[in-house]
Amino acid sequence: MDFKVFILGSGAAIPTLQRGTTAHLISCFQRNILIDCGEGTQIQFRRFRLKFQKIDIICISHLHGDHVFGLAGLLSTMQLMGRTSALRIIGPEGLKELISAQLDLVGHGDFFPLDFHILPAGFSGVVYEDKCLAIHAFPLAHRITTFGYRLMEKPNKRRLDKAAFDATGVSVSYIAKLIQGDDITDNEGRVVRSADVTIPGKPAKSYAFCSDTAYTTAILPHIQDVDLLYHEATFTNAFADRAFKTGHSTAAQAASIALKANAKRLILGHFSARYDDEEQHLAEAKVIFENVFAAKDGAVFNI
Amino acid sequence: MDFKVFILGSGAAIPTLQRGTTAHLISCFQRNILIDCGEGTQIQFRRFRLKFQKIDIICISHLHGDHVFGLAGLLSTMQLMGRTSALRIIGPEGLKELISAQLDLVGHGDFFPLDFHILPAGFSGVVYEDKCLAIHAFPLAHRITTFGYRLMEKPNKRRLDKAAFDATGVSVSYIAKLIQGDDITDNEGRVVRSADVTIPGKPAKSYAFCSDTAYTTAILPHIQDVDLLYHEATFTNAFADRAFKTGHSTAAQAASIALKANAKRLILGHFSARYDDEEQHLAEAKVIFENVFAAKDGAVFNI
């Protein structure tokens, strides 16, 4: 199935012409999920020819401006362009009040339904689930309440090994149970083990978003074995002290987290505007974790 | 003296790649005044290589998102980039609360002083004045409380006609009074008329900003004889009904206002995103007022 991450903004607090503020669009299994929405996100959608009206869910990590100041504008434009379908918005306490304070002023007639799902500080668990996708939230370590998100494909069903099944001679009425992973005993006392007549489904894939956060191993249980990990890397080693003081990470720290989490690939992002490019970040990360990439506005990662 | 208007956003409610939401930077007499600040204004400053840290005063016309959703982000960035000098912010009731609701979340240490000057609904009068510049606010006719602004150069002093003055034989100590426009009588009873020995200073110039507004002649006293008039022209004649219903103007209405106000030049702007270009707006306006121009992002008008 289709599972892609579009980077709409790869910069930190100060937007520049090269790097917008944080926003990731994840397209998976016909769902479109936006994580974070810094100022100018709606323009980035246009710039990269993506369709914001197709967003089903918006997850907000925290209420710093570079992650949320584009949300009221995006919602206003959705409404002006005729959206009627409901939008689920997931994020920390205060989010609903912040957005309402802005939208109440706009007064463009009736707004489409905004279904806020507010997470208490420290929350960890499932925040959305349907038949093919689940979204988990977990706490990050920043200056204010901040959540990471992991988008997980539901486990794929086992598939029948037809030749092996036919050889058992049991009724086809047992297939459903065997595919579920259950062993069966038929009327005639024949035992068939699921593992002998089915093959595992494709592994379920996942994407984890961790920004903004200081280095913390507390997130490891939530991102273990993730296929694609986005972890902020605001600073290089030279500014490790500043990273610590401001609740951010260095590229090396992000790489260390990817290594410990057994992630398959790592994207670095949220680069401070003080850096002209991300070469130093990549160099410092690669020493620790080889399969690392730098986020760029407009980049697409397939999972 | 230098008196320029930079158009940072020429579009209406929905920003596009071609047209940002409303923001005008006026540079006059070493002051920099920003009028309105839609989402993405700080990026437009970078795009057109203008310096937002040099802004002295921000005037907000009204609290619809396309005129104010970029303000909290701009102020945050000013602070992050080290601004310490005070900023005067002029606008309607509710502005301070809206901005505070957003900035209180940011919490980037001590903020530079924000000196809010809040205008009650219906206010008309001087909102800023120094030795070379005055800013007047006046009510526009929109769906919510909305102000227009006129920036006026202070009248230039008369200059001495040296030959004519010398011919009078009166003491040079009378020059200051004569330049002020006063007639004098010296110790010997000689009468000298200011008009006979001085010549008028350069005419004081002015710029008026009128957006968003329905067509209303109530604004004429506030914009009479203006050198450069910006008047919104969201729609063409074909959508005159929609203009009326939404509290906006057509290009022809804007031209009619310019004609009645005896404006020297007219800029049209706030074009609805339904229009690919502004040819129809210009054509409909030119029938009524010849000296008309269409705002474009990045355009500069010298006064």
Q: Which tens digits make up the pLDDT trace of A22-41?
A: 999 999 988 999 999 999 99
pLDDT at residue B6 tops 90: yes
pLDDT band at B119 (very low <50, low <70, confident <90, very high): very high
Question: Nearest Cα to A3, choosing from A24, A27, A25?
Answer: A27
Contact (Cβ atoms closer than 8 angstroms) between residue B204 and residue B155: yes
**Distance between CA atoms of residues B95 and B113, nearest Å:** 16
Considering the domain architecture, whether residues B113 and B17 belong to the same structural domain is answered as yes
* Angle at alpha carbon of residue A154, lines to A267 and A212, rounded to 5°: 30
Q: Which residues of chain B have a CB within 8 Å of the CB of A143?
A: 107
Cβ distance of B46 and A17 shorter than 8 Å: yes
pLDDT digits (tens, 9 = 90+) for A251-294: 999 999 999 999 999 999 999 999 999 999 999 999 999 999 99
Quick one: three-class SS letters along B207-271?
A: EEEECCCCCCHHHHHHHCCCCEEEEECCECHHHHHHHHHHCCCEHHHHHHHHHHCCCCEEEEECE
pLDDT at residue B29 tops 90: no
Q: Is A16 on the interface with B (CB under 8 A)?
A: yes
**Distance between CA atoms of residues B168 and B163, nearest Å:** 9
pLDDT digits (tens, 9 = 90+) for B146-158: 999 999 998 888 8
Residues 6+ apart with CB under 8 A from A167: none
* Angle at alpha carbon of residue A113, lines to A111 and A117, rounded to 5°: 130
% of chain A at pLDDT higher than 70: 98
Over residues B277-281, the mean pLDDT reads: 97
> How much of chain A is in helix, strand and coil states, percent to nearest 5?
30, 30, 40
pLDDT score, position B130: 94
Contacts 24+ apart (CB under 8 A), A275-281: A275/A236, A280/A236, A280/A251, A281/A233, A281/A236, A281/A251
pLDDT score, position A203: 82
B122: region left, alpha or beta (phi > 0 left; psi from -120 to 50 alpha): left
DSSP element (H, E) containing B63: none
Considering the domain architecture, whether residues A58 and A117 belong to the same structural domain is answered as yes
Q: Is B46 on the interface with A (CB under 8 A)?
A: yes
pLDDT band at B106 (very low <50, low <70, confident <90, very high): low
Considering the domain architecture, whether residues B132 and B145 belong to the same structural domain is answered as yes
**Distance between CA atoms of residues A166 and A186, nearest Å:** 14
- Least confident segment among A51-65, A190-204, B99-113, B228-242: B99-113
pLDDT score, position A156: 82
Question: Nearest Cα to A11, choosing from A68, A92, A67?
Answer: A67
pLDDT digits (tens, 9 = 90+) for A180-190: 889 999 999 99
Mutation site, A36, A67, A68, A69, interface B, largest B CB count within 10 A: A69
pLDDT digits (tens, 9 = 90+) for A156-210: 888 999 999 999 999 999 999 999 889 999 999 999 999 999 998 888 899 999 9
Considering the domain architecture, whether residues A251 and A174 belong to the same structural domain is answered as no
Over residues A203-227, the mean pLDDT reads: 97
For helices B71-80 and B95-106, angle between their N-to-C axes, nearest 10 degrees:
40
Over residues B54-61, the mean pLDDT reads: 98
A39: region left, alpha or beta (phi > 0 left; psi from -120 to 50 alpha): beta
Considering the domain architecture, whether residues A120 and A49 belong to the same structural domain is answered as yes
Question: Nearest-CA residue of chain B relative to A69?
Answer: B73
pLDDT score, position A110: 78
pLDDT digits (tens, 9 = 90+) for B281-302: 999 999 999 999 999 999 999 9
Pairing of strands B23-28, B31-35: antiparallel
Considering the domain architecture, whether residues A115 and A216 belong to the same structural domain is answered as yes
How many structural domains are present in chain A? 2
Q: Which residues of chain B have a CB within 8 Å of the CB of A274?
A: none
Chain mean pLDDT for chain A: 95
Over residues A42-68, the mean pLDDT reads: 97
DSSP letter for each residue of B13-39: SS--SS-PSSEEEEEETTEEEEE---T
Considering the domain architecture, whether residues B241 and B209 belong to the same structural domain is answered as yes
**Burial class for A211, CB neighbours closer than 10 Å (0-12, 13-18, 19+):** buried
Cβ distance of B80 and A14 shorter than 8 Å: yes
Helices and strands (H, E) in chain A, number of each type: 11, 18
- Determine phi and psi for B133, rounding to 5 degrees: -145, 140
Instruction: Out of B15, B98, B106, name the one closest to residue A65 (CB).
Output: B106
* Angle at alpha carbon of residue A70, lines to A109 and A139, rounded to 5°: 115
pLDDT at residue A108 tops 60: no
> Which one of A199, A226, A260 terminates a domain?
A199
Question: Nearest-CA residue of chain B relative to A273?
Answer: B81
Tally the residues of chain B: 303
CA–CA min distance A134, chain B (Å): 29
Domain containing residue A51: 3-156+202-302
Question: Nearest Cα to B71, choosing from A75, A65, A17?
Answer: A65
- The pTM of this model reads 0.90
For helices B251-260 and B279-286, angle between their N-to-C axes, nearest 10 degrees:
40
**Burial class for A174, CB neighbours closer than 10 Å (0-12, 13-18, 19+):** buried
pLDDT band at B108 (very low <50, low <70, confident <90, very high): low
% of chain B at pLDDT higher than 90: 91
pLDDT band at A109 (very low <50, low <70, confident <90, very high): low
> Which one of B167, B199, B231 terminates a domain?
B199
> Around A107, how many Cα atoms within 13 Å sit in the side-chain half-sphere?
10
Q: Is A13 on the interface with B (CB under 8 A)?
A: yes
Considering the domain architecture, whether residues A134 and A248 belong to the same structural domain is answered as yes
Considering the domain architecture, whether residues B233 and B152 belong to the same structural domain is answered as yes
| DSSP 3-state of B94 | coil
pLDDT band at B107 (very low <50, low <70, confident <90, very high): low
pLDDT at residue A216 tops 80: yes
Contact (Cβ atoms closer than 8 angstroms) between residue B124 and residue B137: yes
The number of beta carbons lying within 10 Å of the beta carbon of residue A26 is 24
Q: Which residues of chain A have a CB within 8 Å of the CB of B48?
A: none
pLDDT score, position A155: 83
> Which amino acid is present at B96?
K
Contact (Cβ atoms closer than 8 angstroms) between residue B170 and residue B183: no
Q: What single DSSP character describes residue A20?
A: P
Residues of B known to be catalytic: 66
- Tell me the two tokens of residue B223: 């914009």
Contact (Cβ atoms closer than 8 angstroms) between residue A50 and residue A25: yes
Q: What ipTM does this complex have?
A: 0.89
- Determine phi and psi for B142, rounding to 5 degrees: -125, -175
Considering the domain architecture, whether residues B207 and B283 belong to the same structural domain is answered as yes
Over residues B261-270, the mean pLDDT reads: 98
pLDDT band at B260 (very low <50, low <70, confident <90, very high): very high
Over residues A229-245, the mean pLDDT reads: 97
> Which one of A199, A220, A253 terminates a domain?
A199
CATH number of domain containing B237? 3.60.15.10
pLDDT score, position A160: 94
Instruction: Out of B17, B46, B72, name the one closest to residue A65 (CB).
Output: B72
CA–CA min distance B8, chain A (Å): 14
Residues of A known to be catalytic: 66
- Tell me the two tokens of residue B137: 């606010």
pLDDT digits (tens, 9 = 90+) for A113-129: 999 999 999 999 999 99
Considering the domain architecture, whether residues B103 and B125 belong to the same structural domain is answered as yes
| Pairs of residues, one from chain A and one from chain B, whose beta carbons lie less than 8 Å apart | 102
| DSSP 3-state of A301 | strand
Considering the domain architecture, whether residues B48 and B187 belong to the same structural domain is answered as no
Query: Token match 């839609």: residue?
Result: B38
pLDDT score, position B109: 63
Q: Is B99 on the interface with A (CB under 8 A)?
A: no
Question: Nearest Cα to B153, choosing from B27, B48, B65?
Answer: B27
Alpha carbon separation from B34 to A189, B29, B73, B181 (Å, rounded): 85, 14, 14, 34
